[in-house]
Structure 1
């Protein structure tokens, strides 16, 4: 997991006594001998603390600029140590079975925030004879660990809320299987949240109640369509009105107790199958109607309505049965061709 860090502004509360400073070459050099944390910057350690050591040469800077640069370098050094620690612990604790969600929950910890570095403080400073300003910065390891735990739990709760929202959004996720997947992920996340670290939140019982309601609704939705037949009618040439197509479906539904006429629009077979599958239907009956009009020798118009009725086993991806019926209507103009009567006659033939 890639870990990134941002700097944290050091506020005025980090106040320490500063050495005397003059405009001469280095009248402000510390009178004390070089401390061990300066002499052995790479090897210096303090039990129970993360340590950051920074320095800044005078190099034409003002006193304030040099002090600020030294503090920033110390902070950068300290944050780097925490970065390595977090990365190592994250890689060791990520479980294989729940790897994606674990990584997603812990990835937001990759940025060291103000919240984690709240206990940061300047412990000491020292100035050498060349006017190089050194800063020793520390933060309690226990403080960082506790802040990490709280931040991680907050991240998990945010992810839980996001998954719950996806699992209950029927407009965005029409496929019940997709929504059930999100709810399953929400359930796994909620089980790992320690609400004792989040006293400001509503609590485990509150969020479990929300999740239970969503799971019950999803299960009921699945049960309501299990074993049922979805009904669609399409007319690719556009000759049949929506009212005529609706009456054709009503004919079908009157003979099928477990059939539901879907109100969604679909213009092609694959779209109809997808919509029925998204709503968890096991079966689909699709009416595909087409018309043809010719002029007779008498000058009248003869219209032919052909309707195919195909039954699909959606779950297993099979066509179970296909029937086709045709009928004709006569008229002196297209407006006289009674496609409604033709459709009714065809549907009666299917029975």
Structure 2
């Protein structure tokens, strides 16, 4: 690590957010004019990108006379510890913790900001950038860097599965396998959306098993059989796959769960194409519901380890799995709502 200075079943819709947002929060919280920035970047995307990011920071922030520190993480295993060190420094100096990277990197850095109680900002450097795009943060590095200088901090919702945070989505079953296969393809053929799509189609045509899960929600238990359980926390992603009601529910302080009914491989592929075309809600083979908190167990009640994907990162967690909305929001530097909406369109 180096450091540089300078049709669906829905429950619970209409519920209020767990953490009320005051009028001041809704208008955004201004930062001190001299608030320092602590940037954490995962160098997994390449040293060339890290050097380009550093050059823009020195040009834009340096010209404005703003202090910043950039910490480039060479070993992904150190990302969490480096992020927490930077968050501690940001909190102590009334500064801002900034994540530079894709959604997985941003989630790790954002978790450190949430725990430290300091504002969080984003420099999008990933392939899909769902989190930044959903909040209207420009993909252009120069523009997103300039945004740091005059943006306000707005409260945004994050989710948890057990003690692991997610800002875009979390899942178990087939979806984590899709992500693992995608990384294998990317290592062979490079990072692009076309490679990601080809990998997903290849995985869908392989044999896969269905999960039997018990979902405890608002005092009742439902058994679900599905290849995957997908929990979304990103309005843009929900809209893109054709789940507009679930997208709106996210603005009411809820998470959205999607589970395809037990179907064969070809129907799974058909559902995926429906999602890619933004028509998933048209299918009778998908169950969805919204919630603040659910607990997922296995019928055997064993505390088994299961593979979980959170914002593209794979880990293993022990059942039962508790999916929930965080009881406190993340303070995110982003454009004012009207500008964010225009950037998102």
- Under a length normalisation based on structure 1, what TM-score does the superposition of the two structures give? 0.20
- Compute the TM-score of the two structures, normalised by the length of structure 2: 0.21
Bigger CA radius of gyration: 1
* Greater helix content: 1
Where is the strand percentage greater, Structure 1 or Structure 2?
A: 2
Query: 1 or 2 for the larger relative contact order (CA 8 Å, sep ≥6)?
Result: 2
